[in-house]
């Protein structure tokens, strides 16, 4: 009896602690959401307005009319999808090569690819700006896509190589014996088996591009601006339009929340893949 009630107390304690941490994590998101529903007066009032009267005017104002942020949303989607697609294609080929083919100095190449990730983006952004300028790729979504692919490739190759390596070779070898070319083996056997890995990397790839600020800040202007840049433009030395910032931010954040819930298992798998030896 005694130990049973102790177990219950313990469980309650665990739930309570979990809730505390979860509340700490989530309250800024909730606060952001409610801020996006406030008007100017409610923003500045003390004590703070916890539950403002729901109104959509901030969203409407920021996403329509002459100064609409809507094109930037479209840019973000476009850059995210296209860069993810190409990162996957190039990355899968490279990962497959690393995982399955005897290539010279493989270990070094792998490490070198990973070390590219160490480069602080601020360091290469000026050369990239100058390169993009000479190719007339500035302020075009294509330019930003090209750069995002470069930033994403190392990580994607690293993760995919891990996934592909973990697939037992026998299935592939059986296919090869049966007369498949390496390409057919890749396309019909390995890729489907590595589907979770592909899902994980495409999600990470898209999220990186969706969230990326610095390259977008420098390489885009009026036309190709993405949402993070638009959000950063709310920051100012003077009165920040909190309610407008909140509305635009929510539009940026809601897809992330939805995606996180849908594929959280893949996220966890992806993060832990390199970290934990299965």
Partner 1 sequence: MQKSRLKRIGLLLLLPALVYLAFLSVYPTIYAVLLSGKDVNLARPYKALFVGLGNFFRLFQDDLFLKSIYNTLKIALVSIVLELAVGYVVAEIFDKRLKGMEILRTIYMLPMMVTPVVWGLVWVYIFNPNFGLANYLCDRLGLGFQPWFASADTAIWSLILVNVWQWAPFTAVIFLAGLSGIPATLLDAAAVDGAKWYQVIRYVKFPALKYVAMVVILMRMMDNLRLFDLVYSTTQGGPGSATETMSFFIYRHGFKFFNVGYSSAAAIIVLVMIILLSQLLIRIFYRGGEISE
Partner 2 sequence: MRKLIVLGIAVLWGILCLGGAMAQEKPFSGQTLHMIMIADPFVSAFEKINAKFEEITGAKVVMDSYPYDATHEKEVISLAAGTGDYDVIVYDIPWVGEFVEGGFVEELEPYIAKEDPALMAMDDYFPVGVEAGKWKGKVYGLPFGLYFVLTHYRKDLFDQAGVTPPKTIEELKDRAALFTNNPNFPDLYGIAMNYKRGAPVGQAWFEYIWNFGGKYFKGLYPGSTEEDWTPVFDAPESIEVVKFFQEMLQYNPPGAINYAWDERATAFQQGKVAMASTWTVRTPMYWDPSISKVVGKVGTTVFPAKEGLKPVPPVGGWVMGIASSSNNKDLAWEYIKWFCSPAIHREFCAAGGPPSRISTAQDPELTKSSPWYSTILETAPLTYVDCRPRIPESFEIIDVVGLKVSEALQGETSIEQAMSDVQNYVMTLMKRAGYKVK
Which of 66, 121 has the CB closer to partner 1? 121
Residue 17 or residue 174: which is nearer to partner 1 going by CB? 17
Instruction: For residue 218, state whether it binds partner 2 (rule: CB under 8 A).
Output: yes
Contact partner at residue 116 from partner 2, partner 1, none, CB < 5 to 8 Å by partner kind: partner 1
Only one of the segments 53-61, 63-71, 191-199, 261-269 lies at the binding site for partner 1 (rule: CB under 8 A); that segment is 261-269
CB of 113 to partner 2, least distance (A): 30
Q: Residue 1's binding partner, choosing from partner 2, partner 1, none, with beta-carbon cut-off 5 to 8 A by kind?
A: none
237: Cβ contacts below 8 Å, ≥ 6 apart: none
Determine the size of the site formed for partner 2 (CB under 8 A): 16
Q: Considering only residues 77, 109, 191, 193, which one is a binding residue for partner 1 as defined by CB under 8 A? A: 109
Single out the residue of 43, 78, 233, 269 in contact with partner 2 (rule: CB under 8 A).
233
- The answer to whether 222 contacts partner 2 (rule: CB under 8 A) is yes
- Binder of residue 66, out of partner 2, partner 1, none (CB less than 5 to 8 A by kind): partner 2
Contact residues toward partner 2 (CB under 8 A) are: 66, 129, 133, 136, 138-139, 218, 221-223, 233, 235-239
């Amino acid at each position: 009896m005694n130990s049973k009630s102790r177990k219950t107390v313990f469980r309650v304690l665990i739930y309570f602690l979990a809730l505390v941490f979860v509340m700490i994590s989530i309250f800024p998101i909730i606060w952001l959401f409610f801020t996006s529903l406030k008007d100017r007066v409610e923003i500045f009032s003390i004590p703070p307005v916890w539950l403002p009267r729901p109104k959509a005017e901030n969203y409407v104002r920021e996403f329509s009319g002459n100064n609409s942020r809507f094109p930037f949303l479209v840019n973000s989607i476009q850059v995210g999808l296209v860069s993810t697609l190409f990162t996957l294609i190039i990355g899968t080929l490279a990962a497959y090569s690393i995982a399955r083919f005897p290539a010279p100095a493989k270990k070094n190449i792998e490490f070198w690819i990973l070390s590219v990730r160490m480069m602080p983006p601020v360091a290469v952004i000026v050369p990239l700006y100058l390169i993009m300028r000479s190719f007339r790729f500035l302020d075009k979504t294509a330019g930003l896509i090209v750069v995002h692919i470069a930033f994403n490739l190392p990580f994607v190759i690293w993760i995919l190589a891990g996934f592909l390596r973990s697939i037992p070779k026998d299935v592939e070898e059986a296919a090869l014996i049966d007369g498949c070319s390496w390409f057919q083996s890749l396309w019909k056997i390995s890729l489907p088996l590595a589907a979770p890995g592909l899902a994980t990397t495409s999600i990470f790839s898209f999220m990186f591009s969706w969230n990326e600020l610095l390259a977008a800040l420098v390489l885009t202007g009026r036309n190709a601006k993405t949402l993070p840049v638009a959000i950063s433009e709310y920051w100012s030395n003077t009165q920040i339009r909190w309610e407008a910032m909140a509305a635009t931010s929510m539009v940026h954040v809601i897809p992330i929340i939805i995606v996180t819930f849908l594929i959280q298992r893949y996220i966890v798998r992806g993060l832990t893949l390199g970290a934990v030896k299965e």
